[in-house]
Amino acid sequence: MDDPDELAPAVRSILSGARERASAARGADGDISVSPRDLSAAFERADAEDRVPLIAEVKPTSPTTEGSREDDPVALAEGMVAGGAAALSVLTEPGHFGGSVDTLERVRDAVDVPVLRKDFVVDEAQLDAVESDVVLLIARFVGDDLPTLLEAARDRGFQVLVEVHDREELERALDAGATTIGVNNRDLAELVVDLGTFESVAPHVPDEVTLIAESGIGSPADVRRMRAAGADALLVGSAIMDGDVAANTRELVRTEAGGDEATADGDDAAAADGDDAAAADDDATETTETPT
């Protein structure tokens, strides 16, 4: 695990809280056994339907956003699914993100897509807090315990998203047997977002590994950029939570199909404008205005 001094204060606080919750969870009776909804199949369905495979995140607040969203999380989740999200991510970290296991349970009961538990798992005992389809393991937080935690999660039936930030963490994730990897564009030292992080790591990810771009994706242009760099799917939180979640989700998941349609519509409109101009002025031989 990285030296805590190399982490942003908010991240150090999150990690400290995770360890406290892990300590409190130790000794609980029984291990969870999960029958998960298939995340890869959900991504494949989205692709087949010309939707960008997207994990939309129910995130009431975070250390990098101002204020919080008080809407019913279930209503937000249902809006995201209606907008075309292939899967959902639900925060269960309470202190900094306003999440809870109760929220995850309610959301998972209400939707039929895979649900990722977004939390900061540093101990096997935390895996038994709540059923989900996918759990997150952050390579930088779990360090050398990654192989053990990955196996423990799979033994319970979970699918596992292993999050990395650089080439070194990627290699550790691959060595541990990770088959779904997320590259987080947010630096944990300064909390600065750089989409180039994904672009620098993605070329080194084997083709058989499902690759997810995380953080900093806020527009259709960002979606296209991450997809061009090799993202099989995207995880988006703040950009969807800010406003109408169904409309925001729809804008992002329809980016690729919408872009093609928009180009075709633009060409048709340009042709029509040219015909109208010619008809209006018999002396005109060509139009000089072009769209910008």
Contact 4, 100 (CB under 8 A): no
CA 124 to chain centre: 23
DSSP 48-114: HTT---EEEEE-S--TTSSS---S-HHHHHHHHHHTT-SEEEEE--HHHH---HHHHHHHHHH-SS-
Catalytic amino acids?
Answer: 57, 59, 118, 163, 184, 214-215
Could you count the other beta carbons within 10 Å of the beta carbon of residue 207? 7
Nearest to 21 by CA among 121, 140, 101, 151: 121
Helix 245-253 to helix 255-280 angle (10° resolution) is 80
In sequence order, which ranges of the chain are alpha helices (DSSP H)?
Answer: 9-25, 39-48, 73-82, 94-97, 101-110, 139-142, 146-155, 167-176, 196-201, 220-228, 238-241, 245-253, 255-280
Nearest to 77 by CA among 114, 43, 131: 114
3-state secondary structure of 181: strand
> What DSSP character marks residue 193?
B
